[in-house]
Amino acid sequence: MELGTWSDWFEGVSEILAVVVALFLPVVQEKKRKRATRQRVNQNIRRLTLDLMANPERDIQWKSDFNSLQTLLRLYSSLLTDELGEPIVAIGERLLTAVEAPTPNQQVVTQQLAALADCR
């Protein structure tokens, strides 16, 4: 094979590779961004839930944190328009019910936080 044929072949493969990368790079970056967002939201939900569980007094701060948790769970489920949105609504409702109970059930809270973390 001639040198020109090899360089033409290499140039063609390079162009195809450049097009493939250009087409799929935004998709990969979007998936990474969504995953990072889900992780941050999960961390905030976990933090708020643990703060609520650690505060036995139902004071103004507790109510504010509880409202924040409700809002965060609603936003999180609405962000996920795929198949994960519906399970997150159900998990969020069970989590809110467990936290809001007069005597919060730590086991249920732990299970729901784990289920929420598994929704990825």
DSSP string, 3-34: HHHHHHHHHHHHHHHHHHHHHHHHHHHHHHHH
Residue type, 66: F
Half-sphere exposure of 35 (CA within 13 A, CB side): 8
What's the pLDDT score for residue 6? 75
Structural domain includes residue 49: yes
Structural domain includes residue 19: no
The residue among 75, 72, 80 whose CA lies nearest residue 49 is 72
Kindly state the average pLDDT of the residues 68-83: 78
Res. 67: pLDDT tops 90: yes
How high does pLDDT run on average in the chain?
Answer: 83
What's the pLDDT score for residue 64? 92
What's the pLDDT score for residue 66? 92
Sign of the Cα torsion 69, 74, 80, 82 reads positive
The count of structural domains within the chain is 1
Structural domain includes residue 22: no
| Residue pLDDT, tens place only, 29-61 | 888 988 888 888 889 999 999 999 888 788 888
Query: How do the residues of the chain divide into helix, strand and coil, expressed in percent and rounded to 5?
Result: 85, 0, 15
* Cα Rg, the chain, nearest whole Å: 23
What's the pLDDT score for residue 82? 59
The three-state secondary structure class of 84 is coil
Structural domain includes residue 25: no
Host domain of residue 65 = 37-118
- The pLDDT confidence band at residue 63, using thresholds 50, 70 and 90, is very high
